[in-house]
Structure 1
Amino acid sequence: MKSNSIASMIAGVGLALASVFAAGHAEARTLRFSHTDNPGGSRDKAAHVFADKVKEYTKGELTVKVYPSGQLANDPKAIEQLKLGGVDFTVSATGSYATDLKTLNLTALPFLVDSYEQGWALYDTSPWMKAQFAKLPAKGYRMLATWEAGFRSFTTKGPLNSPADAKGKKMRVYPNDMLRWTMEAIGFDTVVMPVTEVYLAIQQGTVWGQENPVDTIKSLRFYEVAPYITLTRHIYSPLPMAISENTWQSLSDDEKTAVQKAADDAATYSRELVRGSEEKQLQEMEAAGATVTRPDIAPFRKAADAVYTRARAEYGDDVDALLSDAAKIRKEMPAN
Structure 2
Amino acid sequence: MERRNILKSLTVAALALTVSGTSAMAETVLRFSHTDNPGGSRDQAANLFAEKVAEYTEGRYSVRVYPAGQLANDPKAIEQLQLGGVDFTVSATGSYATHLPSLNLTAMPFLVDSFEQGWELYDKSEWLQGEFDKLPEKGFRVLSTWEAGFRSFTTSMELNSPADAEGKKMRVYPNDMIRWTMEAIGFQTVVMPITDVYLAIQQGTVNGQENPVDTINSLRFYEVAPFITLTRHVYSPLPLTVAEKTWQGFSDADKEAISKAAAESAAFSRDLVKSSVNSQLEAMEAAGATVSVPEIGPFRDAVASVYDKARGVYGEEVDKLLADAENIRTAMPIN
Question: Taking structure 1 as the reference length, what is the TM-score of the superposition?
Answer: 0.94
Matched residues, number? 328
Which residue of structure 2 aligns with residue 282 of structure 1?
281
Which residue of structure 2 aligns with residue 125 of structure 1?
124
Which residue of structure 1 aligns with residue 198 of structure 2?
199
Q: Residue 264 in 1 paired to residue 271 in 2?
A: no
1:142 aligned counterpart, secondary structure: strand
Matches within 5 A, 1:33-52: 33-52=32-51
> How far, CA to CA, are the matches of 1:186 and 1:82 in structure 2?
34
2:152 aligned counterpart, secondary structure: strand
**1:17 to 1:279, Cα distance in 2 relative to 1, 3 A:** closer
Gaps of 5+ in 2: 1-10
Which residue of structure 2 aligns with residue 8 of structure 1?
none
* Matched residue type, 2:278: E
Cα deviation, 1:84-141, whole Å, max 9, x if unaligned, reads: 1100000000000000000000000000000000000000000000000000000000
Which residue of structure 1 aligns with residue 56 of structure 2?
57
- Aligned residues: CA RMSD: 1.8
1:69 aligned counterpart, secondary structure: coil
**1:63 to 1:299, Cα distance in 2 relative to 1, 3 A:** same
Matches within 5 A, 1:98-113: 98-113=97-112
Cα offset, 1:224, TM superposition:
0.2
Which residue of structure 2 aligns with residue 186 of structure 1?
185
Which residue of structure 2 aligns with residue 148 of structure 1?
147
Which residue of structure 2 aligns with residue 333 of structure 1?
332
2:222 aligned counterpart, secondary structure: helix
Gaps of 5+ in 1: 1-11
1:205 aligned counterpart, secondary structure: coil
> How far, CA to CA, are the matches of 2:58 and 2:19 in structure 1?
17
* Matched residue type, 2:23: G
Cα offset, 1:25, TM superposition:
3.2
1:241 aligned counterpart, secondary structure: strand
> How far, CA to CA, are the matches of 1:176 and 1:185 in structure 2?
14
Cα offset, 1:26, TM superposition:
3.5
* Matched residue type, 1:259: I
Which residue of structure 2 aligns with residue 80 of structure 1?
79
Which residue of structure 1 aligns with residue 157 of structure 2?
158
2:303 aligned counterpart, secondary structure: helix
Which residue of structure 1 aligns with residue 7 of structure 2?
none
> How far, CA to CA, are the matches of 2:126 and 2:296 in structure 1?
29
Q: Residue 318 in 1 paired to residue 317 in 2?
A: yes
> How far, CA to CA, are the matches of 1:55 and 1:265 in structure 2?
13
Cα offset, 1:59, TM superposition:
1.4
Which residue of structure 1 aligns with residue 5 of structure 2?
none
> How far, CA to CA, are the matches of 1:172 and 1:43 in structure 2?
21
Which residue of structure 1 aligns with residue 233 of structure 2?
234
Which residue of structure 2 aligns with residue 6 of structure 1?
none
Cα offset, 1:56, TM superposition:
1.0
> How far, CA to CA, are the matches of 2:98 and 2:134 in structure 1?
13
> How far, CA to CA, are the matches of 1:156 and 1:138 in structure 2?
39
Once structures 1 and 2 are overlaid, which stretch shifts more, 19-28 or 46-55?
A: 19-28
> How far, CA to CA, are the matches of 1:178 and 1:164 in structure 2?
20
**1:319 to 1:28, Cα distance in 2 relative to 1, 3 A:** same
1:153 aligned counterpart, secondary structure: strand
2:164 aligned counterpart, secondary structure: helix
Which residue of structure 2 aligns with residue 9 of structure 1?
none
Which residue of structure 1 aligns with residue 213 of structure 2?
214
1:171 aligned counterpart, secondary structure: strand
2:159 aligned counterpart, secondary structure: coil
Cα offset, 1:201, TM superposition:
0.1
* Matched residue type, 1:194: P
1:83 aligned counterpart, secondary structure: helix
Question: Taking structure 2 as the reference length, what is the TM-score of the superposition?
Answer: 0.95
Which residue of structure 2 aligns with residue 68 of structure 1?
67
> How far, CA to CA, are the matches of 1:65 and 1:36 in structure 2?
14
Cα offset, 1:172, TM superposition:
0.2
* Matched residue type, 2:88: F
Give identity over the alignment, percent: 68
